[in-house]
Structure 1
């Protein structure tokens, strides 16, 4: 603040010699009056001072450095004034630091007084208005002769404001953002303002008055409302990957902050995940009402309801503006021009609706839909600032709707791909009935690489598979399809589970080597083979969670499987686990998404314990497996899981003892006839005499090969009756049988060719020692063309 006490003075004669000086000048220079007076004033400056003329006259004004008594230069600002009628002059000088502060203070005050949106009043110690930029007819302020608040405001307003300002003057505590009503004494104009007041002090720190700043409270309220609305839009809109949810978030932000009723209409294509067509002008825009909101909670029954179809619109200027990305301000009359049928207008104009805004959801050059906001209870109509605000919020919402649409399209494509890659949800074989269930991950994670499979194997055996590819999205799904195909291919080789996983692991490592570093493959897998004849299951795991088995008596336990490393790691063997299963047992295979969701302990075992307990409670012999699986997944709650969940439930069956027959023969050519007779007799007991001829031929050829190439020891023969008739011959040789077509001059080599013609399918598998050749026949014998063997 400016202070005369900070100014030093000196009187100079016509030659620039100091005649007299003030006490402030002596104090400022650290010299006595005798040291200053009688010397040229320029001698007090560093480098001969600021004079520019040869006669030693000083410049009219400027900045310079003066010599202090201590020898330390002092920066000063000075001005030279001529005295009349003599030739003497008066020099005013002060520290440059002080003059800078005075100049800055004056500039700040000048800037405040020239503002149109900020009112300022300066009050003295008596709270008299000494300066103001407020118009007299509106605020009672004046830059004319000083006035008291009581002379410029109505009585009650003046008393309240003056008491508040006096408190600032007396306590020195500022007043921040107090709502006041400023009006003229006649009360003709009354305006709501926000008052902030600060105490003023003189150079000695004594109270000098109060400076009061007035802001338009309505403008501040509107600015805060707009800022809050934009903040809510930024934090809420876009949290969902569903277009309808994004639309609902939009109207929930707009109502009641901006209007009393709001609705969003989305293009039909957007709701299906596709791009909307580019339509200009009127007609059927294929819009559906996707979201509504009301300030009273319930949507009016007379208006178009959620899910309703918007009828064709007429080609109007407002419609063209919206289709070009601009918001339109409407009223009831202008809305009526959009429809050809007056009855349709009642569906879109609410009772009491006097002002509306209609804006597009515009993204990437496409109109995804529209948003409309009505005011019914709020008296003020919409203006252009409101339209700009709705346009900005709508553009943010349009990006969220478009992202949700694109995610829906990709999610739908990936889900369709995965559903095509997965087997049917239910299967029923002689060995077991099975039901598979799959639940994709939620929260934007999407589809991943979890899968299950049921693979029928020869001799009524069945393989159960469940696996999990690390990662999410299309890449994980495609990898899952490749692994499932590989497992099915290896299963056709009738490998033991540990051998199958070893070869699968080799394949995963090859896929990883072919991929780029970012596309490395990691997966887990559990492979189990169940044999209903011996009622035994052989399992092997590649880093996968252990299965759970529920016995027919309702008790459940976790099968202790020794897990090998995940697929793709390599270098470690896989081990098999053998478990006997009673018919009616339920085997549960699953991915880790199921137990991790239910693992409340966080130790990894809590989810498995939960699964075991729930399976024991849910599994019953008369309950369908699909229903059991759905009830189990329902226990996880409605919140989408963070990871995919795949669940495979299989209820085992057993082949009755009376439906199997087994013989062991010495490896001697004479036993071939004995084997044929034993097979024919067994078929007669089963009532399958019609299959006797072809079965005897198959037994004869397979037993002959076992005797001839089996390497000695014994030859085993087994017949199994089920949906087909299976003939198995086992020997101690590990040599793979080979099918070939003999020439007409060859005496042998037609055995397996004959078997292939008589059986519906045939093959071989290795055992711990030796191999087993099997052949299947339909229980309804087919006609055989024996001329084909000649």
Structure 2
């Protein structure tokens, strides 16, 4: 179909095609522009029904039927499909107005413009709307595109239903339109706009993807009747603000998942590559990450003096050619460099374009300068890692393959990432410091070597927990008494951390003191309970005093082969007979230590030569998803697996029972009776 020439560029406004329709719906007037638009001469159309001009199935038939509700309106407007003389379709915008004829019968003057030549499209706004980087499409009430701007035309291959006049398929699910047709219908029917509806679109092969922020609103005529729906879509695929917000959201989830300093530093590096930078290092001060040897004892080299220890490292390149030092190694920097300046001032260093040819700080660092040039580093940000008044180290962000230099917005993002990571690092540092102190205290308070003499062979293991604060109040001991007797002790103080370790030390000392008095097990536990309860009361809530502790105290006499034991709320021991039979003897129930309730009783057992006694704490057998009885059955099986030397058996039991990270401290004390002198 030849395009009508009713308007040409340079004219002030388009000239509409004009027709006059009589009361019976026949055409009684026909202008030259109407002839050019539809191809009919006045002789061919005058007197014919106006319905002959509409396309089949078009709702425009009401335009020519004026006996109903619409015929009572003085003014109407709408978009309809017309049929050209040669049979092609023309989508046109109509406005018709009622007039009175000399005889009093009504008639209507109809003005039509083809879509694309609407007043809006022909105005000075059309070039502006086509030039802005926003996709704009207008649909009529039947979801037929009737106008689009240049940005929408460029997306026609991806979204073919943006093409003007192209009807949607019968199955609307096949219409790739950025927004579902039912959403367009909802806006058309209710008039409620949709604002900032984010849509992700990908090519069929998923090699390319784009993200759009879409807006839908209803277009209304001068009479407030809905004429269609307008779509506006903004490509936000490379929107820096959204990407920065997304990265910060990820940082709140992915950084600080553990209380391990090295892991936290690595999480920051992994998060930033490649989303923000091509190469990232996280270097910490010695106070945060102590090395095997103090940095001040290391000699300087061509790159400077040892200042940091590398804790985090990530790169887009597998071999990480940008890094001169791997994780865990000292990092050397010149005494006067951006790294030391950031450490001294606590302010970031921003170098959007690194100068590698003129005299700068790299001249004093030849090793790093060679690496910078070889790998193509061209933009740099160094931010301090500060938290709660402590300067913990620095994070370095570099781009190599990504040719975009860092901006001030990038600097703000890097500082925010550094601040969030620093809080997690400081928490991990404090935890590590307390954990190390508690573990050192625990190790000091536990016996360094157990001696059973010629009475019993001994073996033991202690594993601090990997959960909570890492160290609890578990302890074990073997005390040689007069008469060749041997006392065996295992206990568990409630709580974790340095306070539990200190309380454990006091209990162990008290047990040893009472044991040397020769008290039987039940009396010893009763006295221990009284002393500990009284001490807690005297301290008036001192944090070093836990609520309670459990304890199992046993005395073996090799001369008689008898073993007397009592429990203060502790689990029963396992007795492994020479034939491999395992039992967990029932002991009289006793109250935990520290409650001041006493009520401890002893039980006596015969231990044959070659019998193994296993004392343990609940961390060895207890799991959240299993009860204690199940754990005791597993322990019994582990104790009889092989005829191993006692120390090897101790290791075997620990390996069999600890199939995952310990939820509590684990203590195991094995005592095997030797040949007696009876």
1:556/1:172 CA distance change after superposition, 3 Å: same
The answer to whether the Cα contact below 8 Å between 1:273 and 1:406 also exists between their aligned partners in 2 is no
The answer to whether the Cα contact below 8 Å between 2:152 and 2:162 also exists between their aligned partners in 1 is no
Q: Distance in 2 between matches of 1:272 and 1:133?
A: 67
1:641 match: 662
Deviates more, 1:258-267 or 1:161-170: 161-170
Query: Over alpha carbons, which structure has the higher Rg?
Result: 1
The answer to whether the Cα contact below 8 Å between 1:266 and 1:289 also exists between their aligned partners in 2 is yes
What is the DSSP-based 3-state SS (H/G/I as helix, E as strand, rest coil) of the residue aligned with 1:459? helix
TM-score, normalised by the number of residues in structure 1: 0.58
1:131/1:216 CA distance change after superposition, 3 Å: farther
Write the mapping of 1:347-362 to structure 2, written as runs, cut at 5 A: 347=371, 351-362=375-386
Does residue 226 (structure 1) correspond to residue 244 (structure 2)? The answer is yes
1:515/1:347 CA distance change after superposition, 3 Å: farther
The answer to whether the Cα contact below 8 Å between 1:314 and 1:340 also exists between their aligned partners in 2 is no
What is the DSSP-based 3-state SS (H/G/I as helix, E as strand, rest coil) of the residue aligned with 2:559? coil
For residue 197 of structure 1, report the CA deviation from its aligned partner.
2.5
Q: For 1:453, which of 442, 456, 477 is the aligned residue?
A: 477
What is the DSSP-based 3-state SS (H/G/I as helix, E as strand, rest coil) of the residue aligned with 2:305? coil
For residue 655 of structure 1, report the CA deviation from its aligned partner.
2.8
For residue 385 of structure 1, report the CA deviation from its aligned partner.
0.8
Q: Which has the higher contact order (CA 8 A, sep 6+)?
A: 2
1:546 match: 572
The answer to whether the Cα contact below 8 Å between 1:303 and 1:349 also exists between their aligned partners in 2 is no
For residue 431 of structure 1, report the CA deviation from its aligned partner.
1.1
Does residue 398 (structure 1) correspond to residue 422 (structure 2)? The answer is yes
The answer to whether the Cα contact below 8 Å between 2:322 and 2:371 also exists between their aligned partners in 1 is no
For residue 272 of structure 1, report the CA deviation from its aligned partner.
2.5
What is the DSSP-based 3-state SS (H/G/I as helix, E as strand, rest coil) of the residue aligned with 1:563? coil
What is the DSSP-based 3-state SS (H/G/I as helix, E as strand, rest coil) of the residue aligned with 2:534? helix
2:269 match: 251
Q: Give the number of aligned pairs.
A: 511
For residue 508 of structure 1, report the CA deviation from its aligned partner.
2.0
1:356/1:524 CA distance change after superposition, 3 Å: same
| Structure 2 unpaired stretches of 5+ | 1-115, 135-145, 165-176, 202-209, 297-302
What is the DSSP-based 3-state SS (H/G/I as helix, E as strand, rest coil) of the residue aligned with 1:478? helix
Deviates more, 1:630-639 or 1:398-407: 630-639
Deviates more, 1:362-371 or 1:557-566: 362-371
Q: Distance in 2 between matches of 1:448 and 1:297?
A: 41
Does residue 200 (structure 1) correspond to residue 219 (structure 2)? The answer is yes
Does residue 537 (structure 1) correspond to residue 560 (structure 2)? The answer is no
The answer to whether the Cα contact below 8 Å between 1:304 and 1:347 also exists between their aligned partners in 2 is no
The answer to whether the Cα contact below 8 Å between 1:583 and 1:653 also exists between their aligned partners in 2 is yes
Write the mapping of 1:397-436 to structure 2, written as runs, cut at 5 A: 397-436=421-460
Q: Distance in 1 between matches of 2:122 and 2:349?
A: 46
Q: Distance in 1 between matches of 2:639 and 2:178?
A: 76
Q: RMSD between aligned alpha carbons?
A: 3.8
1:591 match: 617
| Structure 1 unpaired stretches of 5+ | 1-122, 142-147, 181-190, 658-790
Write the mapping of 1:570-649 to structure 2, written as runs, cut at 5 A: 570-597=596-623, 600-602=625-627, 604-618=628-642, 620=643, 623-625=645-647, 627-637=648-658, 639-649=660-670
Deviations 1:218-258 (A, max 9, x none): 56x32232122111211222222121011011111111221
For residue 276 of structure 1, report the CA deviation from its aligned partner.
11
Q: Distance in 2 between matches of 1:546 and 1:334?
A: 72
Q: For 1:565, which of 591, 611, 617 is the aligned residue?
A: 591
1:104 match: none
Q: Distance in 2 between matches of 1:272 and 1:171?
A: 64
For residue 475 of structure 1, report the CA deviation from its aligned partner.
1.8
Deviates more, 1:393-402 or 1:376-385: 376-385
What is the DSSP-based 3-state SS (H/G/I as helix, E as strand, rest coil) of the residue aligned with 1:430? coil
For residue 558 of structure 1, report the CA deviation from its aligned partner.
1.4
For residue 537 of structure 1, report the CA deviation from its aligned partner.
0.7
Does residue 313 (structure 1) correspond to residue 334 (structure 2)? The answer is yes
Does residue 651 (structure 1) correspond to residue 672 (structure 2)? The answer is yes
Q: Distance in 1 between matches of 2:200 and 2:126?
A: 19
Q: Distance in 1 between matches of 2:120 and 2:198?
A: 19
Q: Distance in 2 between matches of 1:131 and 1:637?
A: 78
Write the mapping of 1:68-87 to structure 2, written as runs, cut at 5 A: none
The answer to whether the Cα contact below 8 Å between 1:463 and 1:529 also exists between their aligned partners in 2 is yes
Deviations 1:534-568 (A, max 9, x none): 11111100110000122223332212222211113
TM-score, normalised by the number of residues in structure 2: 0.67
The answer to whether the Cα contact below 8 Å between 1:547 and 1:559 also exists between their aligned partners in 2 is yes
1:46 match: none
For residue 263 of structure 1, report the CA deviation from its aligned partner.
1.7
Deviates more, 1:426-435 or 1:531-540: 426-435
Q: Distance in 2 between matches of 1:268 and 1:570?
A: 47
What is the DSSP-based 3-state SS (H/G/I as helix, E as strand, rest coil) of the residue aligned with 1:481? helix
For residue 501 of structure 1, report the CA deviation from its aligned partner.
0.8
The answer to whether the Cα contact below 8 Å between 1:256 and 1:295 also exists between their aligned partners in 2 is yes
For residue 375 of structure 1, report the CA deviation from its aligned partner.
2.4
Deviates more, 1:129-138 or 1:259-268: 129-138
2:42 match: none
Q: Distance in 1 between matches of 2:186 and 2:212?
A: 23
What is the DSSP-based 3-state SS (H/G/I as helix, E as strand, rest coil) of the residue aligned with 2:526? helix
Deviates more, 1:493-502 or 1:226-235: 226-235
Q: Distance in 1 between matches of 2:676 and 2:346?
A: 71
Q: For 2:311, which of 290, 299, 302 is the aligned residue?
A: 290
Does residue 523 (structure 1) correspond to residue 532 (structure 2)? The answer is no
1:453/1:251 CA distance change after superposition, 3 Å: same
For residue 443 of structure 1, report the CA deviation from its aligned partner.
2.7
Q: Distance in 2 between matches of 1:466 and 1:595?
A: 15
Q: Distance in 2 between matches of 1:131 and 1:511?
A: 92
1:514 match: 538
The answer to whether the Cα contact below 8 Å between 2:577 and 2:610 also exists between their aligned partners in 1 is yes
Q: Distance in 1 between matches of 2:211 and 2:431?
A: 49
The answer to whether the Cα contact below 8 Å between 2:198 and 2:211 also exists between their aligned partners in 1 is no
The answer to whether the Cα contact below 8 Å between 1:445 and 1:642 also exists between their aligned partners in 2 is no
The answer to whether the Cα contact below 8 Å between 1:129 and 1:149 also exists between their aligned partners in 2 is no
What is the DSSP-based 3-state SS (H/G/I as helix, E as strand, rest coil) of the residue aligned with 1:617? coil
Q: For 1:242, which of 260, 274, 277 is the aligned residue?
A: 260
1:439 match: 463
Q: Distance in 1 between matches of 2:184 and 2:517?
A: 97
The answer to whether the Cα contact below 8 Å between 2:574 and 2:614 also exists between their aligned partners in 1 is yes
Deviations 1:142-178 (A, max 9, x none): xxxxxx9667558544786565699787774677445
